[in-house]
Amino acid sequence: MGRPDRAPTRTSRRAIALGTAVLAAAALASTSAQALPTGSDPGKDKKKVDAQIDKVREQLEDTSSDLAAAYVALQKTRAALPGAQAGLAKAEGAAAAADRANAVAAQELAAAVASEKKTEAELTETTTEVTESRTRVAQFAAQIYQEQGFGQLDMALTSSDPQQFADRIALVDTVMDVQSEAMERLASERASLAALEEHLSALRADSAAKKKQAEVALAKAKKARDAAARAKASLDALAARQASQAKTVESKLARDKAKLKGLQSEQARLKAILAKRAAEAKKKAAAAAAKKRKKGQSSGGGGGGGGGGGDGYLSRPSPYRVSSEYGMRFHPVYHYWKLHSGRDYAAPCGTAVRAAASGTVIMSGGAGGYGNRVVIDHGIVSGDSLATTYNHLQSIRKWSGHVSRGQVVGYVGTTGTSTGCHLHFETLEDGDFVDPRKWL
């Protein structure tokens, strides 16, 4: 037996259950509606989403496995959407930046090519000028040599009078000045030609570099646009999957609601049976007590169940961890508050389920959403008619008759409305559900 679990006060139990459900609903809303923060750690985000999904699974333990699976898949898709949207925004931003860089590179290349062409034109013009200047100088020299040459000097020296001598000397100076000016112009044009050739070479190298930069920028822009297109396709696929999954959930929800009505009917039937048995047991106990008093004997307290009050009266039906406690919770699919009427033990299928106390098996077999079920009446304990139920069993070991504390009554399964292997354990007082922790 032992007393491994102590129950808090009724007020605190309700507060804990309500607070847990509210937090779960808030976490679910956060999963569906909020985008993941930009630049967040993907590993941490995944753990956060996984924890929220686990919480959703816990809330769905009283739901059919296929509906629960469809809803969990829908929630995972919804949780992935903000990340996909952020990824698309990032990809589109990168594509826009790459397009801008590509445009700048293209402009720089165009400017470099224009400068190169302009310089090529200037070089062609200067080359022509140099060629023409060389031709003029050569022609001038030839003309001087043929027509005058040193004859001018001879004429000056053989002049008959001073005036003739002076005129001839002035003529010679003029000719020499013109020749010197032509030679200087030719030298300047040749220097300009050499500078233009060097400048053109540099411009061509710059154009080649700009062309390579433009090619790289264009490739990056194409790659970024392709990434943005993939991100858009991924987001569209997620949105389509969400719409499809939402339809699947909706179709399965109608069938599950019909099962829920059957579950509620089964609960009402069990309550009526236990309430009737409780009334009969209390009537018998009162009659026995009156008879004892009539004989002068004390009644000695309640009968039939072995006594000891509430705390610790029941043993744990399974040694495995508790995956879900008793209490009110907001159902994420049905969208209303409902009582989780028992305590769930996360035991593997096939694990032995043991009677929490001695009593009589009053019901066993299939019970709709409860699956394979065993109900044990423990009689009157501390003035209350106490019963326990063992649900979703894979198979039943004890179908009827008296059972002793710790006796195997069945094996853990996932029959009925269940999302996976576990034991759903309930306690009832006079046919009404109570928190099992009160008796454990």
pLDDT along the chain (440 residues), means of 10: 40 37 38 44 58 56 64 74 79 84 83 83 82 75 60 59 68 68 77 81 84 83 84 81 75 68 78 87 84 68 42 92 89 73 95 97 91 95 93 96 97 90 95 94
Nearest CA among 384, 388, 360 for reference residue 302: 384
pLDDT of residue 349: 97
pLDDT of residue 187: 82
pLDDT of residue 285: 82
Give strand pairing partners of 374.
364, 390
Q: Name 355's Cβ contacts closer than 8 Å, sequence gap at least 6.
A: 317, 376, 388, 398, 403, 404, 405, 406, 407, 409
DSSP letter, residue 13: H
d(CA 437, CA 3): 10
d(CA 95, CA 86): 14
Instruction: Answer whether 205's CB lies under 8 Å from 119's CB.
Output: no
d(CA 366, CA 416): 8
pLDDT of residue 32: 42
Give strand pairing partners of 343.
425
Instruction: Say whether 296 sits in a helix, a strand or coil.
Output: coil
Cβ count near 36 (within 10 Å):
22
Strand 343-345 and strand 322-324: pairing? antiparallel
pLDDT of residue 4: 40
d(CA 4, CA 128): 108
d(CA 150, CA 170): 14
H/E run at residue 189: helix 162-294
Instruction: Answer whether 420's CB lies under 8 Å from 66's CB.
Output: no
Direct distance between the N- and C-terminal alpha carbons of the chain, in angstroms, rounded to an integer: 8
Give strand pairing partners of 352.
411
- The angle subtended at Cα 168 by Cα 163 and Cα 171, nearest 5°, is 130
